[in-house]
Structure 1
Amino acid sequence: MDADGANLWQPVLSRIPAPTAIFATGRGLAKPFGVAAGLADPVVQRPFTTETPFRIASNTKTFVAATALRLWERGQLDLDAPVAALLTPALTELLQTAGYGTGEITVRHLLNHSAGIFDHTGTERFSDVIHQAQDHVWTREDQVRLSCVSSGPTASPGVEFRYSDTGYILLGDILERVSCRPLAVLVRQEMRFDESGMTSTWWEKEEPAPAGIVPRACQFIGKEEFTALDASADLFGGGGLVMNVRDLAGFMAHLFEARIFQRPETLAEMLSAGSHKRAEEYRLGLFSRFVGEVEVFTHAGFWGTLACYSPDSGVAVAGCTLDKAYFGELERIVEEFLLAVA
């Protein structure tokens, strides 16, 4: 399928009654192509296009994990080192007070969500603030503290997969301390945003939006708008990046097509499964799933974003619906596309 595929896929977006964009690229396509429909801002009637940036939320975790792997391949980070001595001491103290064995939790456990860290985003307090005080400013320590006062460990380290935003917030702190660089600077440099032409991409509150790009899209859950939600609600490693579907799909292609890591063994390490329960579901910053008989590595973001790569077909696809309520239909459309090119 080539760029003419855009004409074939444009009508498919009508299945989603919300603004949606999809972009496909990779070595398996003759040419990249994208499709989009709807309005990025319903008030000023600005169209949603494949160039419109949006918050990618937890898709950021793939970038953070890949950055950790870049440090690992240079010998600057031991994935199996305990986190106790790597974290900011105040965070280590919070974890230990809540009953966590910080001498047993490793960087790898944080990367594959097997550390047993309770997820602060699942608390009633976090939900109340998100819905009722969108201008509230959080810190990394605030969110780790919320996790620790809400619950102790959900499991012993290395026992089972349990998704945790808080774990990636801790990982972000470790990466800053190990590299002596702010997380936004570190990820930009190690993921080679500038060299790769990722011109719509920035880390909110930590970097200015790139010059000349269109404004960020409005994002909703049903009729409730969250565009004005302070970025600190999801900023410290579990989320934080803004980009368009072109950059998101392009990054997945760069990652799997040897334009990020120096050695193929590094990608193999990122895709390796642990021995814990449900380890096959989530590797280091990526979910693994099958679409038909084709293995696809993927991640989603809370506000309705999705990024996938199929090693068998060499195709990367990124999608975004500006109403999270229609994420399931977006996922089905992307699956249909991946089956079509398999």
Structure 2
Amino acid sequence: MRIRLARWAVVAALGAGTGAFTAAPASGRPDAPPVGSAPASTNFHPAALQGSLDDVHRAGVPGVFAEVRNDGRTWRGASGVADVATGRPVRADMRHRVGSITKTFTAAAVLQQVERGRIRLDEPVGDHLPDVVPGERGRKITVRMLLHNTSGIPDYLPYAFPSLRGFPDRLDVSTRSLDDNRFRTFRPAELIDMGLSAPPAGEPGGSTGVYSNTNWLILGELLERVTGMPAEEYITRNVIERAGLRHTEFPTGTHVEGPHPRMYESFYGLIDPPRDYSVYDMSWVGTAAALVSTMDDLNRFYARLLAGDIVSRASLDEMKRTVPARALDGSPIQYGLGLHRFDLPCGTFWGHDGTVWGAGTMALSSADGTRQMAVAVNLMRWNEPDASGKPQPHPIDGAMRAFTLRALCGTAPTVPDPLP
């Protein structure tokens, strides 16, 4: 899901430099265990990584945890608490709701079916799902358009969560829908119909995509139709298990199984103090954003994907062909087939970010898989708006940028980085 106004992802060139790092314990902390070994580097130190992670916690995030990989060496770290009431510390190996990172898994599953000849990227989705996307829309919208978010189908979220409709133009919105839907089970067809019934976000095949979770529920229905099994089952067997992931799954209930942090939602200051939404029925996002995973599993997945082990090299090339798109907050992104492109001072990285209520995650990898970062936070939508509804800068934004540059480029910005 992407329903935030201020992206916590790194989107601008903030510095330059590359570096390797050792895998010694970070500040001697038990929550950042050493993995492997490497000689000391003048550019990248475990203490610097831990210090940057601590800065994110000090800036206001209750708990943050990450795994960074560089040339076969791995560093894991955590800072802060998993539970603000008990003070239980957050750990680097915790499971987390990873939101729209799920989309890369779904896209890989669709590309596998393209390789088997059961789906063609440029065929109308109505050829397979005339009952789901009927009429002219089904004839115009192709599978590729769904994956690229250029279908013109808007997001269903404002209709599934009606009390949020109108934000940020209206500052008097209610967050009641978040609680109303906590234990509600949505059917994919119900959510898809909400998106199809809303005013179109654009013409099918437009030059600029409009990010929409509706596309990804339709892709889940497509997978089920061509494979004869639930999309979540197919993705589990052919993507998650194929990548060798041990802690990644679609939840079957409202709880996250295994050690995990509580997940606190602020919704731009409308929920004060932030409320825990770690217990939630994730049917509201399904194949768009429901996965639970660990930072280790996410790095493993993107390494295998970018190595051509999950889909063929030809399919991977298709996934990396980006188009300009707009996120739900209106910010520009470069979006492929379930992959984001991020251009940093030290090179181009591929991956995805994701949020659901109270949980944020980002996973980025260099094209050759040698530099990777996966990081999670247990607070979301921390930027409070001013009287006009514009979200204001927050120290968390700069701290997250600094950690990402430390992790992937071996450096950090030397001057403050205001939000655009």
Name whichever of 216-225 and 161-170 sits farther off: 216-225
Taking a change above 3 Å as real, the CA distance of residues 227 and 313 of structure 1, as seen in their structure-2 partners, is: closer
* Structure 2 counterpart of 1:205, from 216, 235, 252: 252
Taking a change above 3 Å as real, the CA distance of residues 35 and 168 of structure 1, as seen in their structure-2 partners, is: same
- Unmatched 5+ residue regions in structure 2? 1-20, 25-44, 165-175, 267-273, 327-331, 383-395, 412-420
CA contact (8 A) 1:201 1:243 kept: yes
Aligned match of 1:125: 162
Q: Distance in 2 between matches of 1:234 and 1:327?
A: 26
- The Cα shift of 1:39 comes to 2.1
With the length of structure 1 as denominator, give the TM-score of the two structures: 0.86
Q: Distance in 1 between matches of 2:233 and 2:163?
A: 27
Name whichever of 51-60 and 279-288 sits farther off: 279-288
Mapped pair 1:226 → 2:277: yes
Aligned match of 2:48: 8
Task: Give the 3-state SS of the residue equivalent to 1:304 in structure 2.
Answer: strand
Name whichever of 107-116 and 8-17 sits farther off: 8-17
CA contact (8 A) 1:271 1:284 kept: yes
Give the paired residue count. Answer: 326
CA contact (8 A) 2:49 2:403 kept: no
CA contact (8 A) 2:254 2:280 kept: no
- The Cα shift of 1:131 comes to 4.2
Aligned match of 2:203: 156
CA contact (8 A) 1:56 1:239 kept: yes
* Structure 2 counterpart of 1:265, from 295, 309, 314: 314
Q: Distance in 2 between matches of 1:220 and 1:269?
A: 36
- The Cα shift of 1:60 comes to 0.3
* Structure 1 counterpart of 2:365, from 283, 297, 309: 309
Q: Distance in 2 between matches of 1:322 and 1:315?
A: 24
Mapped pair 1:333 → 2:384: no
Q: Distance in 1 between matches of 2:319 and 2:337?
A: 5
Q: Distance in 2 between matches of 1:153 and 1:199?
A: 40
Could you give the per-residue CA deviations for residues 303-329 of structure 1, whole angstroms, max 9, x where no partner exists? 311011112672121110111234664
CA contact (8 A) 1:295 1:311 kept: yes
Aligned AA (1:118): P
Displacement over 6 Å in runs of 4+: 206-209, 276-280
**Higher share in helix:** 1
Mapped pair 1:47 → 2:89: yes
- Unmatched 5+ residue regions in structure 1? none
What does 1:158-173 correspond to in 2, within 5 Å?
158-159=205-206, 160-173=208-221
Question: Which entry has the higher C-alpha Rg, 1 or 2?
Answer: 2
CA contact (8 A) 2:307 2:369 kept: no
Taking a change above 3 Å as real, the CA distance of residues 260 and 208 of structure 1, as seen in their structure-2 partners, is: farther
Taking a change above 3 Å as real, the CA distance of residues 71 and 219 of structure 1, as seen in their structure-2 partners, is: same
Task: Give the 3-state SS of the residue equivalent to 2:288 in structure 1.
Answer: coil
Aligned AA (1:257): A
What does 1:61-80 correspond to in 2, within 5 Å?
61-80=103-122
Aligned AA (2:301): F
Aligned match of 2:189: 141
- The Cα shift of 1:298 comes to 2.5
Mapped pair 1:246 → 2:302: no
- The Cα shift of 1:33 comes to 1.8
Could you give the per-residue CA deviations for residues 31-65 of structure 1, whole angstroms, max 9, x where no partner exists? 22211122223344432212110111111001111
* Structure 2 counterpart of 1:297, from 350, 357, 366: 350
Name whichever of 220-229 and 37-46 sits farther off: 37-46
Taking a change above 3 Å as real, the CA distance of residues 195 and 101 of structure 1, as seen in their structure-2 partners, is: closer
Taking a change above 3 Å as real, the CA distance of residues 2 and 194 of structure 1, as seen in their structure-2 partners, is: farther
The Cα RMSD (Å) is: 2.7
Q: Distance in 1 between matches of 2:214 and 2:378?
A: 25
Aligned AA (2:183): D
* Structure 2 counterpart of 1:37, from 79, 82, 100: 79
Taking a change above 3 Å as real, the CA distance of residues 169 and 40 of structure 1, as seen in their structure-2 partners, is: same
Mapped pair 1:178 → 2:231: no
* Structure 1 counterpart of 2:341, from 284, 288, 303: 288
Task: Give the 3-state SS of the residue equivalent to 1:36 in structure 2.
Answer: strand
Q: Distance in 1 between matches of 2:227 and 2:46?
A: 42
Name whichever of 284-293 and 104-113 sits farther off: 284-293
Q: Distance in 2 between matches of 1:257 and 1:198?
A: 16
Task: Give the 3-state SS of the residue equivalent to 1:309 in structure 2.
Answer: strand
Taking a change above 3 Å as real, the CA distance of residues 246 and 183 of structure 1, as seen in their structure-2 partners, is: same
